[in-house]
Structure formats: structure tokens, C-alpha cells
Structure 1
């Protein structure tokens, strides 16, 4: 069984994330989504809120495929989380060249830590390539319309947070 791990902070979950999740399900038998604590990013939403958002947005996908959310938040090494869930593949989404440079370094380090775990990169669909959670939060904070970037429930959560 091919188990993939798609990690992220998902602060908030975007249509780009959902695109990657949906497309990753055809590559693996079971896709585990790991919601990272990542205190360095100073998330807008609590861990519990982010987990609830991704669970709600993936409910339809998981009903059709083997998608599940890691039942605990992870703050350890990505490789350790992959081992904890039995993943042999790490799924990473790419939007731009800047993403690749960072991810390329991460792959090199992760291969040194555990060469048995492969990293697979998926480009976000063309309509989602510009979406970044950081920018979505900024647009929402300034009163802009984020409905093209996030699911309706996430848009509502952003509006509630800022207004």
C-alpha cells in the first residue's frame, strides 16, 4: 500500500491545497494530511480551527478516496511524522520557482535523514498557482474578496476573524 503524507500549516486551507489533495489521491492508496503547528509562522487560526477547516473541506474527498487527517498535530521533523503514519511518499505542492528552491533544500535534507521516503512535487493547477495562504490572509484583513482563493466556509472564517 502506497501511503502519502501531505503536510502543511493550512492557515487557512486554500483552493490550491484542495487541488493538490484531490490530485494526490490518484498517486497513493492512502493520503494522510498532517497539520503542522509551526510556531515560526505565527498562524492566524488555532491548530484546532485549522484541523476543523481541513477536515470539513476534505470530507467529500475522503468519502471517495483514502484521505485522512493525522489524528494529532505534528511539531516534529517531517520525516518522523512520515514514519509515524507509515508514509513512503511526501507530497509537496509547488507554485513558483521560489517554492522550488526551498523545497529542493528540504528534499536534500530529508533524503539524508531517511532515504527510503520519496518526495513528490505537484504543481498547483494554473488557476491556483498564485494562491498563498499568507496573501489570502492579507487580502481578507484589508477587506478584499477572497472567494476566488478559498472555499466558502473558510472565507466566512476569515471574515469573522477580521471583522
Structure 2
């Protein structure tokens, strides 16, 4: 698979991103119930397109498709916390996993966070999501805290793992 192009999301990506989000839903990474119709909008006032980076394959001639996305947002509205950005959404299409798409999105998000003046990048990941945790660790994130049994998912209690890194 050729290297995906990483770009800021645009309003017309909404339908494709929403479909991707529904397709990859899993209790491995989702704390919300499986989406069912009627589906809410993917973009809204709290989740505008400019908060998302997307990985895109193809071109106008061959047809483009989105392989994944990552969302950066401020974890709080506090001025004392303005130097921190948080990954608050991350998805890679099943067929693109293990091909560097997720890594490219994380690296692009770190670069964008730096451009936006952030000194730290944080995230939260479910304790049983071993593949994601391994990817984050390989990109310099460290476990900074664990909320034991924070979620009850798929019949069992799951830890919420807080990770972060300096930029």
C-alpha cells in the first residue's frame, strides 16, 4: 500500500468518516454502544472538521478513499491546560491496519500539535486494547495513570489507561 496522504478533514468527508466509524466499531476500543440509526452527524459544534486529520489513498483518477482519521482537541477549556492537546478519536479501516496508516496519523497529529503550540500530547486507551497501546508506546507515549475497572464493556470491567508524551 502506498504511503497515505494526510490532510485536514473537510466537511464533505463527513459521510465517509461516519461510515468508517460505524464499520470499525468494537468493544476493544469503544465505550459507547454500537451505533444504530438514526446516526448522529459525525461533525458538530464540538467536533468540527478542522480538529481531524484524515489518511487518504488514491487520487481523482483512481478514486480516493479515506483509510482513517485522528482527532485532536483540548482536554479542558482551562488556560492553565492550554499547552496540552489530546487525541480524542482515532480510527483505521480494517483493510489498512498493520500498514503504517495509524503510525502516519499519530506522527502527523504530533506535528500538528506542535504547530498549534502544544508542549504535551495525551490520550486515553482501554486497557485491553493491546494493539493500540503498543502503537502508542512505539511512538513515545508512556502510561501516566490507570483508572482500574473504569468501564463495564462486553460483560467485564476494563481499565482506562491515560498515556502522554512531551512534544
Q: When you count helix as a share of all residues, which structure comes out higher?
A: 1
Q: When you count strand as a share of all residues, which structure comes out higher?
A: 2
TM-score normalized by the length of structure 2: 0.30
TM-score normalized by the length of structure 1: 0.31
Q: Which has the higher contact order (CA 8 A, sep 6+)?
A: 1
